[in-house]
């Protein structure tokens, strides 16, 4: 696809730098696309038309006056509403923060602006990033552009849907247990969770601090690489940010798959995996083999413990992080309450949705006296075993490939009242967050119902280059990008 609207980052950057199209024209085209499709998709919490056009005008002025342009000059990008944006509400999909306006930008947002990106809006999400369908937003349900009666995945469902619907060429999401990769799979686009520590978390509103990571979604693997190139790197404002140099991700894209050793873990191809998903992923693996990669079945034996381990650690950290929402310092405050205890109860009852309350209660329980050792401490020990599984596997492998999700996108209401079924949607993705590894979902096929299927590429810690290299090689053969959703109804 090419042109002012619908083009890749490289195409848009070229149009702006050459003067074939102005940044303002490109911004207006994408804003118009958003206005056209938002009544059906509902990807955005807010479109920032005035500030976006102002940013675009600045870029056009810089070009006219001969000043150097950044690597994302004039590229419209959407930002998940869990990332702080100066002077713009950041709600985290929650009523408790509906009037919260940060006074600073998250580091990754600031780096996008410095690179010339035009921030066109904040995207919808599951409340506090807790969910796998974007049905837990306190405001609206985002629809999957491939089938409007189905979920876009979560919690970064708005960010994925905005890209898939052609509203922006790229977006930022956050990933605590699969919240970039699973919606990328459901919406038929690439999306990457970098290594923990590769991208600054400063300004990311915390869900589970040892698991959360910011990452990009795009129309192509190259788009993902271009955004990652900008947002990656050490940040002194984030104590967990790794002080490591950032490689040239674009240089890795053309190296192909020949000679790569790819592990296929048997634990990810068992009962519960949708047959059409398995067929599409195995077809992608055959393509990798045809490109010269060597496949090897492997075992990651502690995979079966990943979901309970994740939901112990993540909820414990959520309980601690969300204690700050007390109606005293910022955020929603219950009215006509004059005692501290009732103020806390009323504020949180009114401000938090049912899934957030469920996770906070579970996390508080596993951290409570008498249960800490039995649950939280044991969970951390199993987390170590899961990480060691991957470390042993990567002693002889370059990458690991799995399905991203056990099913394609499901219908609204299908799982929202069954928390365990919803949690199992993340069964193939949570392991990477527990182990701190980079992973990317790329589309690898369609089901009979015309729903995208994603395959997950996993790399060693801080080896995003390998993940992008293999992703680009497979994308070039699968050629999924030529297929786009019609936005004309249900599957």
Structural domains of the chain, count: 1
- pLDDT confidence of residue 488: 65
- pLDDT confidence of residue 330: 86
Indicate whether 199 belongs to any domain. yes
Indicate whether 322 belongs to any domain. no
Indicate whether 246 belongs to any domain. yes
Indicate whether 330 belongs to any domain. no
Residue numbers annotated as active site: 80, 155, 179
Indicate whether 247 belongs to any domain. yes
Biggest distance spanned by C-alpha atoms of the chain: 70
- pLDDT confidence of residue 2: 43
Spell out the SS3 assignment of the chain: CCCCCCCCHHHHHHHHHHCCCCHHHHHHHHHHHHHHHHHHHCCEEEECHHHHHHHHHHHHHHHHCCCCCCCCCCCEEEEECCECECCECCCCCCHHHCCCCCCCCCHHHHHHHHCCCEEEEEECCCHHHCCCCCCCCCCCCCCECCECCECCCCCCHHHHHHHHCCCCCEEEEECCCCCCHHHHHHHCCCEEECCCCCECCCCECCCCCCCCCEEEEECCHHHHHHHHHHHECCCCCCCCCCCCCCCCHHHHCCCCCCCCEEEEEHHHCCCCCCHHHHHHHHHHHHHHHHCCCEEEEECCHHHHHHHHHHHHHHHHHHHHHHHHCCCCCCCCCCCCCCCHHHHHHHHHHHHCCHHHHHHHHHHHHHHCCCCHHHHHHHHHHHHHHHHHHHHHHCCCCCEEEEECCCCCCCECCCCCCCHHHHHHHHCCCHHHHHHCCCEEEEEEEECCCCCEEEEEEECCCCCHHHHHHHHHHHHHHHCHHHCCCCCCCCC
Q: Which stretches of the chain score pLDDT less than 50?
A: 1-2
Give the span between the Cα atoms of 31 and 427, in whole angstroms: 36
Indicate whether 83 belongs to any domain. yes
Indicate whether 163 belongs to any domain. yes
Q: Residue 272: how many CB atoms within 10 A of its CB?
A: 8
CATH number at residue 422: 3.90.1300.10
Which residues, other chains included, contact 404 with Cβ-Cβ below 8 Å and sequence gap of 6+? Answer: 178, 181, 182, 184, 185, 428, 429, 441, 454, 455, 456
Indicate whether 309 belongs to any domain. no
Which of 365-370's residues contact partners 24+ apart within 8 Å by CB, and which partners? Answer: 366/312, 366/315, 366/316, 367/316, 367/319, 367/320
Give the span between the Cα atoms of 55 and 33, in whole angstroms: 18
The torsion angles phi and psi of 142, rounded to 5 degrees, stand at -75, 140
Could you tell me the residue range of the domain that residue 191 belongs to?
9-266+394-482
Give the span between the Cα atoms of 316 and 434, in whole angstroms: 14
Give the span between the Cα atoms of 272 and 270, in whole angstroms: 6
Instruction: Tell me how far CA of residue 241 lies from CA of 31, 201, 245, 273, 446, in angstroms.
Output: 34, 8, 12, 35, 37
**Cα 215 to the center of its chain, rounded Å:** 6
């Amino acid at each position: 696809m090419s042109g002012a609207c619908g083009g890749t980052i490289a195409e848009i950057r070229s149009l702006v730098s050459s003067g074939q199209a102005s940044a303002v024209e490109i911004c207006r085209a994408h804003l118009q696309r958003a206005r056209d499709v938002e009544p059906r998709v509902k990807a955005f919490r807010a479109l920032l038309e005035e500030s976006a056009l102002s940013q675009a005008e600045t870029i056009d002025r810089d070009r006219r006056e001969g000043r150097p342009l950044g690597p994302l000059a004039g590229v419209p990008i959407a930002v998940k509403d869990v990332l702080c944006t100066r002077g713009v509400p950041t709600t985290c999909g929650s009523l408790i923060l509906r009037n919260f306006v940060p006074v600073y930008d998250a580091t990754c947002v600031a780096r996008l602006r410095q690179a010339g990106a035009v921030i066109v809006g904040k995207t919808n999400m599951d409340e506090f990033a807790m969910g796998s369908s974007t049905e837990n937003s306190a405001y609206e349900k985002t629809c999957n552009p491939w089938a409007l009666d189905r979920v876009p995945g979560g919690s970064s469902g708005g960010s994925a849907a905005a890209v898939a619907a052609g509203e922006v060429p790229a977006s930022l999401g956050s990933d605590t247990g699969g919240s970039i990769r699973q919606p990328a799979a459901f919406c038929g686009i690439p999306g990457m969770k970098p290594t923990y520590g590769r991208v600054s978390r400063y300004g990311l509103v915390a869900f589970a601090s040892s698991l959360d990571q910011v990452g990009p979604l795009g129309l192509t693997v190259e788009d993902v690489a271009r955004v990652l190139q900008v947002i990656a790197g050490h940040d002194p404002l984030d104590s967990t940010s790794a002080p490591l140099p950032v490689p040239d991700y674009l240089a890795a894209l053309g190296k192909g798959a020949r000679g790569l050793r790819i592990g296929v873990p048997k634990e990810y191809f068992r009962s519960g995996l949708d047959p059409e998903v398995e067929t599409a992923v195995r077809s992608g693996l055959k393509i990798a083999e045809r490109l010269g990669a060597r496949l090897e079945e492997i075992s990651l034996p502690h995979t079966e413990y990943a979901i309970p381990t994740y939901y112990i650690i993540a909820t414990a950290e959520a309980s601690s992080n969300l204690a700050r929402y007390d109606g005293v310092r910022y955020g929603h405050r219950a009215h006509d309450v004059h005692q501290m205890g009732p103020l806390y109860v009323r504020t949180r009852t009114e401000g938090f949705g049912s899934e957030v309350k469920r996770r906070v209660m579970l996390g508080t329980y596993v951290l409570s006296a008498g249960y800490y050792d039995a649950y939280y401490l044991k969970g951390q020990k199993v987390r170590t075993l899961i990480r060691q599984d991957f470390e042993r596997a990567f002693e002889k492998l370059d990458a690991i490939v799995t399905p991203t999700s056990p099913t394609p996108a499901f219908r609204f209401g299908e799982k929202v009242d069954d928390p365990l079924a919803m949690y199992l949607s993340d069964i193939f993705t949570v392991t990477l967050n527990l182990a701190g590894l980079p992973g990317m979902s790329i589309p690898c096929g369609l089901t009979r119902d015309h729903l995208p299927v994603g395959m997950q590429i996993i790399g060693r810690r801080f080896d995003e280059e390998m993940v992008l290299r293999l992703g680009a090689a497979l994308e070039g053969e699968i050629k999924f990008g030529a297929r786009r959703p019609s936005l004309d109804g249900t599957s």
